[in-house]
Amino acid sequence: MTPHSPRRADCNTDRQTDRNAQRAAVRSRPVPDLRPLALTLALSGAAIIAGTLMAGAQEAQTTIAHAYSNFGEVKYGPDATHLDYVNPEAPKGGEISIAAMGTFDSFNQYSRKGVPAALNTIGSEAILTSTADDAYGMYCLLCETLEYPEDLKWVTFNLRDDVTFSDGTPMTAEDVLYSFNLFLEQGITEYRAIVQGFIEDAEIIDPHTIRFTFTDQAPLRERIGFAGGTPVFSKAWFEETGQRLDDSSDQPFVSTGAYVLDSFDYNRQVVYKRNPDYWGADHPMMVGRSNFDQIRVEYFADSQAAFEAFKAGAYTFREESSSLIWATGYENFPNLQNGHVVKTEFADGTVGTAQSFVFNLDREVWQDKRVRDAVGMMFNFEWSNEALFYGLYSRVDSFWPGSELAARDAPTEAEVALLKPLVDEGLLDASILTEEAPVPPVNDAAQNRPGRGMFRQALGLLNEAGWEAGSDGRLRKDGQTLDLTIVSFDPSFDRILNPYIENLQQLGVNAKLERVDNAQYIERRRSGAFDMVSHGFAMGFEPGIGLEQWFASKTADDSSRNLMRLRNEAVDKLIPAVVAAKDLDELQTSVHALDRVLRSIGFMVPQWFKPVYTVAYYDQYGHPEAMPPYDLGYMDFWWYDEAKHDALVSAGVLR
């Protein structure tokens, strides 16, 4: 199980972004797929490792270790018996069930073909893994140790000899190499565009030893994470089935993880079961985890239907995605009032997801910043938060909201040193060197319509851009109306979109909502068939080369992350500064500069986020008393309480 998930605002109602696509973007490093990887971060630089040894005679200055980190010591030493936040005595058994929206027709998250089923990568593991309480560490999972020289020219993984795939066959270095090459040859275009040229050689030393040698072009902070973070699949299974990574699949790929597919009914239900022969049950990184015998996913057309099903006991755990339901939907819920259902919040210490509306910059009308700014002014977050969200949210004001990586105030001298050359080249306005970081406009919370001053300012920007109102109130330029279509898929989101559209129409924009089904929504986002959609920018604590998937010009033509089709030379020149950062101070400085520039471009209309998980569940589960800072982990390190379940059954609450 992946221990980390991005901080969520509203996933399916107040949040429009497709859930699977949103879970795609957990860390800002190159990822070969559209899911959260097991690693916390992309890694690089000089590392301080717990338990290092120097193999001087064979390889001068070679470090042999159980873990790796760029910044400081890893939290867990080689003698750790379990993670601090798990219950090592957690009982195994029972079921946890959740809801998913929309449809699915594939179990391959790594292909553009089809809509992948929820949790389809639940059985995948990589050589290295992360924890939910160590922001910068990565640890051997499928390996015993890793070896690398001081210059990180190569890394050798000494694989465990007891790892087996879910079909019982042993995992070897052949499987690791095959899986690694699979992503390089058949992975999504945006991934291959970034990592091509990173590897000089990948060599199998023996059945349980593999070495990756890097080119000089491979960023230092990405090397070990790049080599050790790729999911490992069964080579024999791929060869026997003829399955391709870039094609849809009617079953998950055979891997080494704790869960396998049990059953499914397309667009209705998916059930995963714990593999009783899971090789890693006693591994220190896995003790107290993967506790449920079964994980069931029920599919629903929309979030309101899913909530009614939860109240009826059709599934048992709900990570609440709607502020409206959270504030009002549980008021007349008898099972909550009588204590059979728990409704609570947990702190979320991850970097906030910068949930936003984004413009399609490939469309000429949205290439004028004045037009984008005017459209952005018409979204009244303050009114929405008070009238629609019950004050539960904060405004997104950064691509790293709620974290120390968010740019604040005026730039420091170190930031100016990065930004001034770009100003001198004419790529940035000189004001960025002295002004505070851009923040969204503040509207009146008393009414949806922006104040007269905001309205006049927006209209003035449009007039400057050549748009004039006609006798019918519509804005026109060269005889064409200013049209804007927001593409959406969940009707529950209409209550947020319609007031925004009303404001745009009052401004003279020919704005409308086009609601499509889930499959069409995903395809429209992928193909760029939209003016505006919702998108979630999920960044990590240690951004790296993966930023190119989000923001680089070279990924604008085909990216699941650069949906806005951003092509900006200043951004392209700042990303390498982030990638090259050698310590936390350099990283923070370069990210602040990048954040400042991205916000100044104005390709998005910021939405909202919250620093807590809001959850409701039938009272039959246990969780650690001291929760880790970086994950809720309800399918990972929570457990099933049989006595509580039996009490719910006796009370007629569950069957």
Question: How far is residue 460's CA from residue 33's CA, in Å, rounded to a whole number?
Answer: 43
- The domain segmentation of the chain, as residue ranges, is 24-91+104-241, 259-347+611-650, 354-609
User: 259-347+611-650 maps to which CATH number?
Assistant: 3.40.190.10
- What confidence score (pLDDT) does residue 37 get? 30
The mean pLDDT of 326-332, rounded to a whole number, is 95
pLDDT at 59: 46
Measured CA to CA, the distance from residue 352 to residue 7 in angstroms comes to: 5
Q: Going by C-beta distance under 8 Å and a sequence separation of 6 or more, which residues neighbour residue 442?
A: 382
What share of residues in the chain are helix, strand, coil (percent, to 5)?
30, 20, 50
Domain 354-609 has CATH 3.40.50.11540: no
Residues 274 and 293 sit within 8 Å (Cβ to Cβ): yes
**DSSP string covering 117-167:** PTTTTTT--BSEE--TT-SSEEEESSEEEEEEETT-SEEEEEE-SS-B-TT
More confident call, 379 vs 302: 379
Evaluate whether 597 touches 421 at the Cβ level (below 8 Å). Answer: no
Same fold, 24-91+104-241 and 259-347+611-650: yes
Q: Are 422 and 560 in contact (CB under 8 A)?
A: no
What is the predicted pLDDT for the residue at 187?
Answer: 92
pLDDT digits (tens, 9 = 90+) for 374-418: 999 999 999 999 999 999 999 999 999 999 999 999 999 999 999
Determine phi and psi for 64, rounding to 5 degrees. Answer: -120, 125
Q: Is 42 strand, coil or helix?
A: coil
Mean pLDDT computed over 260-271: 97
Residue 60 has what pLDDT? 55
Give the integer Cα–Cα distance in Å for 41 and 32.
14
pLDDT computed for residue 525 by the predictor: 93
Q: Is the pLDDT of residue 4 over 50?
A: no
130-144 pLDDT, tens digit per residue, is: 999 999 999 999 999
Q: How far apart are CA 141 and CA 130, in angstroms?
A: 9
Nearest CA to 122 among 113, 109, 137? 109
The pLDDT score that the predictor gives to residue 458 is 97
Mean pLDDT value of segment 303-325: 95
Are 595 and 601 in contact by the 8 Å Cβ rule? The answer is no
**pLDDT at residue 362 is higher than 70:** yes
Higher pLDDT, 352 or 30: 352
| Averaged pLDDT, 539-555 | 94
pTM recorded for the entire structure: 0.87
Cα separation values, 81 from 72, 204, 265, 283, 635, Å: 21, 30, 39, 8, 21
At residue 5, the pLDDT reads 31
The string of pLDDT tens digits covering residues 66-94 is 999 989 899 999 999 999 999 999 999 99
pLDDT tens digit string along 141-157?
999 999 999 999 999 99
End-to-end CA separation in angstroms for the chain: 28
- 507: its two tokens: 């401004």
Tens of pLDDT, residue by residue over 579-616, are: 999 999 999 999 999 999 999 999 999 999 999 999 99
Find residue 295's DSSP bridge partners: 96, 272
Lowest mean pLDDT among 32-41, 138-147, 301-310, 549-558: 32-41
Look up residue 35 and give its two tokens. Answer: 């899911």
CB atoms inside a 10 Å sphere around CB 601: 18
pLDDT tops 50 at residue 45: no
Q: Give the Å distances, CA to CA, from 310 to 58, 96, 615, 635.
A: 61, 12, 12, 17
pLDDT band at 32 (very low <50, low <70, confident <90, very high): very low
**Up-side HSE of residue 350: CA atoms within 13 Å toward CB?**
33
Q: Report how far Cα 276 is from the mean position of its chain's Cα atoms.
A: 30
- Round the average pLDDT of the chain to a whole number and report it: 90
**Which pLDDT score is estimated for 193?**
83
Q: What is the CATH code of the structural domain delimited by 24-91+104-241?
A: 3.40.190.10
State yes or no: pLDDT of 126 exceeds 60.
Answer: yes
